[in-house]
Amino acid sequence: MLDTHTQFSHEQDDHASERGQAWSRLLLPGVLILVILALLYRDILRALVAQWWDDPNYSHGFLVPLFSGFLLWQGRHGLRGLVPRGTQVGLAVLLIGIAALLLGDLGAENFLMRSSLLVIIAGLVLFHLGPQIFRAILFPLAFLLFMIPLPATLFYAITFPLQSLAASQAATILDWMGIPVLLDGNVIHLSQISLGVTEACSGIRSLISLVAGAVAWAYLALPRGWMAVLFVATALPVTIIANVARVVMTGIIGQQFGVEYASGFFHEFAGWGIYLFAFACLLGLHTLIQSMARVRFRRAQ
């Protein structure tokens, strides 16, 4: 029995030694790769950070890499327990990422150039570290997509329907409340004020950041499966409802008290109110999902 135990201890020591040597061999290449990527994407990343700063639709971009870094730090002990075993599949993924970078540069397509960095990182991880480690970091890597602004065509393809929906639903509710209203495209005409549901009032800003937050929330606090998908999908109707309520409240205040009261402080506060309302809805749904999970667990016992 003692010999068996000793043999098992030796096997563990050998495995730990192999793992340590494998990670040590990758230290210098890893540093060189980081330097090359920093030089290659220097201008691209600088422009990306500038857009986070200047564009309110993507100000959450500062938090996305911090969250991914937190997840990697949280799982660092598990990663250290894995032995790097690279695969040639990573080379194919790496070439795809390089091609995307070149195509994006030739076509001046920012989304393609920026997202190519994630593809290149995925290829490098597969090639040097292997599929097991790639699966371990897949979610933190994929979550970085939320820091990349959408292509303009996709952004406006989402924004225009949200504008029209917010304007039409708000006009309908105001009409139900007995307030005379005339809808002209995305402009709501009342007797005392006209409200233009612009891009900034479409809810796209809230939707993008709320979906990113919901994905992070679901990953940290919910079981995998349909419950997590339902939780994230709820971000869309919650954003729409909150934004319609914002337009309706703006119309009521402007109609009753004047346009000066409907703008300024109230307009800014209403923007934050969307997030508070959305957070309350997601918290309620999270509590409901947890209750359902507990009931299913009791029934399974």
73 pLDDT band, cuts 50/70/90, is: very high
* 60 neighbors 209 (Cβ within 8 angstroms): yes
- By percentage, how much of the chain surpasses pLDDT 70? 84
Given a cut of 90, whether residue 135 has pLDDT beyond it is yes
What pLDDT sits at residue 200?
60
Task: Give the residues across from 196 on adjacent strands.
Answer: 187
Instruction: Say if residue 55 is in the same domain as residue 83.
Output: yes
Q: Is 187 left (phi over 0), alpha (psi -120 to 50) or beta?
A: beta
* 231 neighbors 217 (Cβ within 8 angstroms): yes
Instruction: Say if residue 97 is in the same domain as residue 172.
Output: no
* Rounded CA separation 192/186 (Å): 17
Instruction: Say if residue 226 is in the same domain as residue 198.
Output: yes
List, for residues 93-134, the tens digit of each pLDDT value: 999 999 999 999 998 889 999 999 999 999 999 998 899 999
List, for residues 269-279, the tens digit of each pLDDT value: 666 777 788 88
Mean pLDDT score across all residues of the chain: 83
What pLDDT sits at residue 8?
42
What pLDDT sits at residue 269?
67
Given a cut of 90, whether residue 282 has pLDDT beyond it is no
* Rounded CA separation 218/251 (Å): 35
252 pLDDT band, cuts 50/70/90, is: confident
Given a cut of 70, whether residue 263 has pLDDT beyond it is no
Mean pLDDT, residues 146-155 taken together: 90
Given a cut of 70, whether residue 79 has pLDDT beyond it is yes
Token pair 């997601």: residue: 282
The candidate with the shortest Cα–Cα distance to 274, out of 252, 254, 245, is: 245
Better-scored residue on pLDDT, 255 or 233? 233
- 149, 169, 202: which is the final residue of a domain? 149
Q: How many domains does the chain have?
A: 2
pTM: 0.84
Instruction: Say if residue 125 is in the same domain as residue 247.
Output: no
Instruction: Say if residue 187 is in the same domain as residue 142.
Output: no
Structural tokens at position 179: 């307030």
* Rounded CA separation 261/15 (Å): 70
What pLDDT sits at residue 10?
46
The candidate with the shortest Cα–Cα distance to 34, out of 22, 50, 45, 49, is: 45
Better-scored residue on pLDDT, 1 or 39? 39
Segments forming the whole domain that contains residue 54 = 2-149
Mean pLDDT, residues 67-88 taken together: 88
Instruction: Say if residue 176 is in the same domain as residue 111.
Output: no
- 149, 180, 202: which is the final residue of a domain? 149
81 pLDDT band, cuts 50/70/90, is: confident
Instruction: Say if residue 13 is in the same domain as residue 136.
Output: yes
Instruction: Say if residue 178 is in the same domain as residue 286.
Output: yes
* 212 neighbors 60 (Cβ within 8 angstroms): yes
| Dihedral sign from CA coordinates of 75, 35, 64, 212 | negative
Given a cut of 60, whether residue 91 has pLDDT beyond it is yes
CA torsion angle 113 114 118 123 (round to 10): 20
* 133 neighbors 122 (Cβ within 8 angstroms): no
- 149, 172, 198: which is the final residue of a domain? 149
Given a cut of 80, whether residue 19 has pLDDT beyond it is no
Q: What are phi and psi of 186, to 5 degrees?
A: -105, 15
Given a cut of 90, whether residue 168 has pLDDT beyond it is no
Given a cut of 50, whether residue 2 has pLDDT beyond it is no
* Window from 14-18, 102-106, 139-143, 169-173 with minimum mean pLDDT: 14-18
Instruction: Say if residue 130 is in the same domain as residue 23.
Output: yes
What pLDDT sits at residue 197?
72
What pLDDT sits at residue 96?
95
Radius of gyration of the chain (CA): 25
Better-scored residue on pLDDT, 35 or 273? 35
Cα 89 from chain centroid?
27
* Rounded CA separation 274/200 (Å): 13
Instruction: Say if residue 117 is in the same domain as residue 201.
Output: no
Instruction: Say if residue 133 is in the same domain as residue 234.
Output: no
Instruction: Say if residue 32 is in the same domain as residue 130.
Output: yes
Given a cut of 60, whether residue 7 has pLDDT beyond it is no
Better-scored residue on pLDDT, 286 or 203? 286
